[in-house]
Amino acid sequence: MKVGKLSLDIMAKYIFSRSGAYDPAVLVGPAAGEDAAVVRIRGRHLVAHVDPISGSVELLGWLAVNVASNDVAVRGVRPRWAMPTVLLPPSADEAVLDKITSQMDSAARELGVAIVGGHTEVTTAVTRPVVVMAVAGEGDRYITTGGARPGDIVLMTKSAALEAAAILATDFGDEMRRKGIPEDVLKAAAGFIKQISVVREALAISDLATSMHDPTEGGIAAGLAEMAHASGASIEADPSRIPVSREAEALCKAAGLDPLRTLSSGSLLATVPEEKVEEALDRLRKLGVSAVAIGRVIARASFLVKIGDIEITNPYIRDKFFELFQ
């Protein structure tokens, strides 16, 4: 099978229809775009998410904690408990393990997340280090990817392809240099890793938003398509309003990637009723997080997402980032 996520029809055939026993406590189960599960425990809502990171070695620990925590936070619930599974190839030395766990520790401390368990092993089953991160939190309410309503405004924080640019500038630094990317661009983009968390901004506006999403694989385009798909609606976005940094632009171009269609953790997508947009933007400004309105939710149209002239009809968007490893 092709590298990357599975297509929707494959997911429907082999994944969504095979979800084990029925449990009425499960409020959000497996569904496209709904990455975090929600189960009820005595009137509280446990929100849990699991995500593998295999696309970076240099930033692996940091990304694993932040990306998985983002997916809990976009439910409007604070991520609190993490369980990493670290799989190392026999070629890995202690320095690799040291880097991964020290990054996980500092990322978790910064977010207020406790690492409560996990598993680490050296195995010939992996060719490069992989971290599968499970993160959970609990709260009295939650929102879903599928809550967007026609008329809502789509907000986006920071800029596109932050995650891809940070990885390109570190794991692929030498290759990028050879392709003529200047040192100052590499240095600035490597620093994007500090912007990968959307936890603070997601929690700041969760009571105003109808849906939130952390766009990872497939980028802003896939993130919008997943929100539209899960909400039974469509989204029209204005490409001229989607922020892309000059660093992400340059690095993506050098790597043959579209900055709107590649790893974009760190940029929160949220749909907010029109009358609450000013309040949401104001709160984000006070946090020091840049944010703009990039589009609007409309009733389900012939497309899921329209970005300028480009119509997207399938939430499955191939992210060419992973082809860099082939």
Q: Does 202 bind its own copies (CB under 8 A)?
A: no
Q: How many CB atoms lie within 10 A of CB 112?
A: 11
Give the one residue of 32, 72, 104, 205 binding its own copies; rule: CB under 8 A: 104
Give the one residue of 2, 183, 184, 309 binding its own copies; rule: CB under 8 A: 2
Q: How many CB atoms lie within 10 A of CB 177?
A: 14
Least gap, CB of 59 to its own copies (angstroms): 15
Give the one residue of 108, 143, 176, 199 binding its own copies; rule: CB under 8 A: 108
Stretch that binds its own copies, among 101-109, 164-172, 176-184, 247-255 (CB under 8 A): 101-109
Burial (Cβ within 10 Å: 0-12, 13-18, ≥19) of residue 42: exposed
Q: How many residues bind its own copies (CB under 8 A)?
A: 84
Phi and psi torsions of 188, nearest 5°: -65, -45
Q: How many CB atoms lie within 10 A of CB 134?
A: 18
Give the one residue of 112, 182, 232, 308 binding its own copies; rule: CB under 8 A: 112
Q: How many CB atoms lie within 10 A of CB 297?
A: 25
In which element (H, E) is residue 229 found? helix 219-231
Q: Which residues in the 113-142 window bind its own copies by CB under 8 A?
A: 113-128, 130, 132, 134, 136, 138
Give the one residue of 147, 149, 243, 322 binding its own copies; rule: CB under 8 A: 322
Distance CA 276, CA 282 (A): 10
Distance CA 53, CA 50 (A): 10
The b/e string for 299-308 (b: 16+ C-beta within 10 A; e otherwise) is eeeebbbbbe
The binding track of 26-55 with respect to its own copies, each residue x by CB under 8 A or -, is x-xxx---xxxx-x-xxxx-x-xxxxx-x-
Question: First CA to last CA across the chain, in angstroms?
Answer: 14
The binding track of 8-27 with respect to its own copies, each residue x by CB under 8 A or -, is --xx--xx--xxxxxx-xx-
Least gap, CB of 126 to its own copies (angstroms): 6
Least gap, CB of 136 to its own copies (angstroms): 7
Q: Which residues in the 73-92 window bind its own copies by CB under 8 A?
A: 80-83, 85, 87-88, 90, 92
